[in-house]
Amino acid sequence: MSDILLQLNNVTKSFADGNGTQTVLDDISLAVKAGEFVAIVGPSGSGKSTLLSIAGLLLSPDSGDVIIGGNTMLNSKSNIRTAFRRKHIGFIFQTHQLLPYLKTKDQLLLFQDKEYNDSVTANDLLEDLGILECANKYPANMSGGERQRVAIARAFINDPDIILADEPTASLDATRGRYVVELIRNQTKKRGKAALMVTHDERVLDLTDRVLHLTDGKLRSM
């Protein structure tokens, strides 16, 4: 069995732009292995978030294939893609997006789908991330760094194959931002996930295994 968990083959995506179209992703191919943490950088508007959305089955490419764990997803029906995304993909966003009326542990239990996974517990993740004491706290009673760590725990709660992080340090200062990326890296390595992060934060790139640059629709190694 291949250790490649996420694969994009010849992905192209264009959007309407005035009277014409703009190609933001031009025949892009990418493979991320189990335990590998890959960063994608590039100027604003270069298509980084579009690429992440396609990898996360939130957006369909105009052409090309998205393969997750050996399963080709491009032609799958919407309900199948939704179920597959819930089982195999964890998302970490720029802001934590926690529900203000739920305590930390309840946030995780709400997202946990025991039909797919019951091997990773909320307490395990909270302890790994150093916030077990926050299990019974509401978001308003936690620091920004603690809330972001809860968001990381939420991404891992269903033991997904793929972790996708969209500017996870954007709302954090340099020290907290680096700590959050270290946590993502550590959990990726410990649990054998394939992690893909888009970022403008060059201060955390040394924590990743590979850095790719997206510009003019093309993905290049740095």
Neighbours of 138 (CB within 10 A): 16
- Strands of 20-33's sheet in order across: 20-33, 4-17, 63-68, 71-72
Q: For residues 33 and 189, is the Cβ–Cβ distance under 8 A? A: no
Which of these CATH numbers, 2.40.160.20, 3.40.50.12780, 3.40.50.300, 3.40.50.800, describes 4-221?
A: 3.40.50.300
Length of the chain: 222
Q: Residue 1 — very low, low, confident or very high, per pLDDT cuts 50/70/90?
A: very low
The 8-class DSSP code of residue 204 comes to G
State the number of CA atoms in the 13 A half-sphere of 195 facing the CB. Answer: 33
Average per-residue pLDDT for the chain:
88
Structure confidence by residue, pLDDT tens digits, 190-204 = 989 999 999 988 999
- Give the residue with greater pLDDT, 206 vs 17: 206
CA distance 45 to 47: 6
**67-81, 121-135, 208-222 — which is least confidently predicted?**
67-81
pLDDT, mean of residues 123-138: 90
Cross-strand partners of 68: 6, 71
Tens digits of residue pLDDT in 50-87: 999 999 999 999 999 999 988 888 777 788 888 888 88
What pTM was estimated for this model as a whole? 0.88
Listed by start position, the domains of the chain span 4-221
pLDDT for 118 equals 54
3-class state of residue 50 by DSSP: helix
Q: Are 89 and 57 in contact (CB under 8 A)?
A: yes
What pLDDT does residue 174 have? 85
Residue 155: both structure tokens together: 């991404």
Please give the DSSP secondary-structure letter assigned to residue 202: G
Instruction: Give the helix ranges, DSSP H, for 27-173.
Output: 48-55, 78-88, 104-111, 122-128, 144-156
- pLDDT at residue 34 above 80? yes
Distance CA 190, CA 35 (A): 8
For 114, list phi and psi in degrees, rounded to 5. Answer: -75, -10
Two structure tokens written together for 146: 């603690």
Span 165-176, mean pLDDT?
Answer: 84
CB distance 145 to 181 below 8 Å: no
**pLDDT, tens digit, for every residue of 155-165?**
888 888 999 99
Percent of the chain with pLDDT over 70: 96
Tell me the mean pLDDT in the region 23-38: 95
